[in-house]
Structure 1
Amino acid sequence: MKTGWEAPKLGDVALLRPNKKEVKSVLADEDDVSFVPMDCLKVDQVTLSEQEARPLGKVYSGYTYFCDGDVLLAKITPCFENGKLGIANGLTNGVGFGSSEFFVLRPNDKLLAGYLYHFLNRQSFRDWAKGQMTGAVGHKRVPKELVESLEIPLPPPEEQKLIVAVLDEAFEGLARARANAEANLQNARELFESYLATAFSGDEAGWDECELNDHVRFIDYRGKTPPKTEVGIRLITAKNVKMGYIQREPEEFILESAYEGWMTRGFPKLGDVLFSTEAPLANVAQLDTEETVVIGQRLITMQADEDVILAEFLKFSLMAPPMQSEIHRRGTGATVVGIKAKLLKTVPLRFPKNLDRQRAIAANCQSAYDDMERLEEAFRDKLQDIDDLRQSLLQKAFAGELT
């Protein structure tokens, strides 16, 4: 450890869960305080998002108390693993009440709130604490004792101020770089969607129109749940079908002996178009393997009459904004939006009657899609580099190596 630094337990330099009775000595029940639900606690953002004001008497019971300068840390999964963390500041009357799933840490005069914030924002801390969480699946929490017993490398307050200032400045620059990379990532997707919208406007001569069902056969296994097993024939579900491609993970299987009895409505083949009917609605991809596969729930397999409609043209037609808008317009459901097969079959499909023209449009769309993927990969790599640099700076800071 660096000379002059200490390594106290966090519980010795920060009060965990201050007693809310103290607020009664300065505020009355009718005085307003800030109400802070979990949504107000952000990731990689020191400040809390906007909170509403509520009378103290309305929030005193059943909510967690804190005040300006306290550090808030989510303790429940997945909020903890996602890095929900912040410093309370600018609270109404300096007081806040919020989620019972907050840890509240109040630093003493040896520890700066900003220093504690950065210490708790390390991925290495989250990874370690994740393995110590207790409780039922879906409701796991970081134990209070684990946080209190955590050793924190602690320089004198003046050195803490310097470290916080360096990190704040560096992270401000990284936040700008991340925002630019995310904007470029979004621009790449929007550029591709704009290309599709133009390609499938159908304004050219020689285009025809039909209902989707006229030249496309639907194989629909919705309403059936296949018995899954550890090994066997690969099962493709809506979780695998992304916009434009099929993702291998998660890998699920059914028994080979159950295949014939299961696939009674039709057999998928290489090049068939897979369409997700809900959660999410209208993801589209082509089956990219000759291996025997099973198609699960929430997916419709579309087999085009290739004397009229090419499968690759159908795929990009379904991905294009005109058909996506039409499909979503026909969707139903409040919480989970989906589409009924009988409505999907009547969606209008515009296409060139010339198959060579369809083939050329599909090839150009594939080229544009490949360009988008290359750009997205570059920007995703940039985002990962930014995250790696952020964690590297934090590691150096708390090892006393930050210059």
Structure 2
Amino acid sequence: MSQFIEMFGNPLSSKQKNELKRLGQCCIINPRRPNIALCDTDKVSFIPMPAVSEDGYLVDMADEEYGKVKKGFTYFENNDVLFAKITPCMENGKGAIAYGLTNGIGVGSTEFHVLRPINGISSPYWLLTLTRMPIFRERAAKNMSGTGGQKRVSASYLNHFMVGLPAIEEQRRFEAIYRQADKSKFGDFKSQFIEMVGDPRNNPKGWPTKRLSELAEYSIGLTYKPEQICDDGTIVLRSGNIQDGKISFSDIVRVNAPIKESLFVKEDDILMCSRNGSASLVGKVAMIPDINEPMTFGAFMTIIRSAEAKYLYLYFQSQDFRERVSEGKSSTMNQITQKMLDKVEVPFPDKDVREALSAIASQADKSKSVIQKALVYLNDIQSDELRKIA
């Protein structure tokens, strides 16, 4: 996003160098499904909402027979941009570029809008970054229709949204930078994790396994009453304080309530969202940084404390962990219980491997700090723009 702002400025501003266009002129929104020369037994990629992350990536996909999914799902193709239209997925930033689809075809949740780049006009990387900007999502949230948890962004709203459209040459230059940054910040790290540990789902290197209960202690957080919320109490960390794998203090709650010593967080504790109405939020983790005041955590959260915290922090972000705790999903409340954590068996490589992975993760954090500084600048721009609109 920092590179996006540097190259294009604020694309939502009415005063800029690029010509203002309707988003519907920059891409095809929800393109019609073409006639497809596929048999019902041919395979295509299936991507439900949980398979799309909140930081712009596909984290999972499965092959399904086309005949089983050709009706009742959203259709898309390679290089289409998926945009979650329903609350809270939209506000949380769910979206990704579809790629590597079996037979070049994907189907998925009906809660996706599909934005298809137009050749010579738009790039999928420009579209993805645009639609993931906080100000874009904030404006979309104000224009959702429906009630409660069924609010959605309409295709008509996206179609008429005004945005500054850069020249395609500039977009392609941005795409090249995005791809290179991806390799540095994301792809190389993931590939090194798989290279060094192997896919935890099948443990191809035959590492010994340990129960999570052998490696860590965990506890559920504080229950408090609404009347105990105050302006000068103890910070209570909640699911919203986990952003992109890090602790964020942009939205905090303080309480004046009795707190057991065991419920105060410590540096290098792992904070996990263990209960939430949204399945996409359950399992999110962040490590507690060096903090300068006492803090606790809410009842829908779990603190995991371990001498192997950095390695476990990486493991908790794996698909293997997601699958092992998926039994806690329900239609009303999704949760990871302590009994479920007790049953998790973790591949446990040699000490030198664990230490090397921790060092790689620490180096990645240093790179992210540069991005965070740029995001402060971005948020300042967005706040100014929102004040003008108000």
- Under a length normalisation based on structure 1, what TM-score does the superposition of the two structures give? 0.49
- Under a length normalisation based on structure 2, what TM-score does the superposition of the two structures give? 0.50
Q: Could you say which structure has the larger radius of gyration?
A: 1
